[in-house]
């Protein structure tokens, strides 16, 4: 029903937020492994709730779309009852993990689930649904900071903004393949709103914004050359991603969406984690 590799998109950025918070508390090892463990559990749980809820809400739409009609719910491989049980089970795990982290995480847990679940409705009434999806992933590094420190530092919001713009950009690219279906079924997306060619330019602009946010983040946390090299690596991968997809040829969207963005998040984390640890 959902794919494990989808966790790769947001989890490395959440762990980057946790490492920046760890650096900010002078690399304290008090309950460090415990906190990281519960951050990972919370991330996987939130991903599972959000994606399963999206599958339930979109089951009838997916059944009409040739690209998605073989997903587990429209194909009858799983029942709605199972899906709702799956959602409730992982929601409980998420709230439990938040409680194990600290009081503020526990208080914010309902909001943290409500935001990505709200995204599932947005494609029905706004072309800004891509931004909402981006923000759903973008809150991950800020949430990880709160998990580590028990409070929010405004500086980490640069990483929230970067992930939001990155996700919105690649989601616009992915939505291009459903342009005809969105038009036929009156669903909202940037490609349907302004056409595929212009939508791809919007994605490029959003990804340039991501890079600008990462540069601002380096400045705010006084990071070193390895982090800057990480931004350069991300920029190169984004350029490659955009070269894979053209308005006249969408055949390589899966490679651009899954493969390249998986590389981007993991490689970004490796560079930034190295900078934080080596230059501490």
Tokens of 176: 């291009």
Number of domains in the chain: 1
pLDDT at 77: 95
Whether the per-residue pLDDT at 5 is higher than 70: the answer is no
Bridge partners for 246 per DSSP: 249
| 242: helix, strand or coil | helix
Residue ranges making up the domain that contains 154: 4-278
Q: Residue 255 pLDDT > 80, yes or no?
A: no
Region 1-27 average pLDDT: 88
Give the pTM.
0.96
Give the residue-averaged pLDDT of 162-179. Answer: 97
Across the chain, mean pLDDT equals 95
Distance separating alpha carbons of residues 22 and 275, to the nearest angstrom: 13
Please give the full DSSP string across 93-150, using - where no structure is assigned: HHHHHHHHH-HHHHHHHHHHHHHHHHHHHHTTT-TTHHHHHHHHHHHHHHHHHHHHHS
Query: Residue 275 in contact with residue 223, Cβ under 8 Å?
Result: yes
Q: Each residue of 77-120: pLDDT tens digit?
A: 999 999 999 999 999 999 999 999 999 999 999 999 999 999 99
Distance of CA 223 to the CA centre of its chain: 23
67: domain CATH number is 1.10.357.140
Rg, the chain, Cα only: 19
């Amino acid at each position: 029903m959902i794919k494990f590799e989808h966790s790769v998109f947001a989890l490395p950025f959440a762990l980057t937020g946790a490492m920046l918070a760890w650096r900010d508390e002078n690399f304290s090892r008090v309950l460090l492994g415990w906190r990281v463990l519960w951050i990972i559990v919370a991330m996987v749980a939130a991903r599972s709730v959000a994606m399963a809820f999206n599958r339930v809400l979109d089951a009838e739409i997916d059944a009409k779309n040739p690209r998605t009609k073989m997903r587990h719910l429209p194909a009858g491989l799983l029942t709605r009852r199972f899906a709702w049980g799956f959602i409730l089970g992982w929601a409980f795990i998420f709230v439990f993990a938040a409680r194990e982290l600290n009081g503020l995480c526990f208080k914010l847990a309902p909001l943290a689930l409500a935001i990505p679940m709200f995204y599932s409705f947005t494609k029905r009434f706004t072309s800004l649904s891509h931004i909402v999806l981006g923000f759903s992933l973008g809150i991950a590094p800020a949430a990880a900071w709160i998990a580590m420190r028990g409070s929010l530092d405004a500086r980490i919001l640069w990483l929230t903004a970067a992930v939001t713009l990155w996700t919105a950009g690649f989601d616009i690219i992915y939505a291009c393949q459903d342009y005809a279906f969105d038009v036929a079924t009156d669903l909202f997306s940037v490609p349907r709103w302004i056409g595929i060619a212009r939508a791809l330019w919007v994605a490029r602009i959003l990804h340039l914004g991501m890079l600008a946010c990462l540069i601002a983040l380096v400045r705010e946390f006084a990071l070193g050359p390895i982090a800057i090299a990480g931004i350069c690596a991300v920029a190169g991968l984004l350029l490659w991603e955009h070269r894979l997809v053209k308005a006249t040829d969408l055949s390589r969207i899966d490679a651009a969406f899954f493969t390249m963005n998986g590389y981007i998040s993991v490689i970004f984390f490796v560079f930034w984690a190295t900078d934080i640890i080596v230059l501490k």
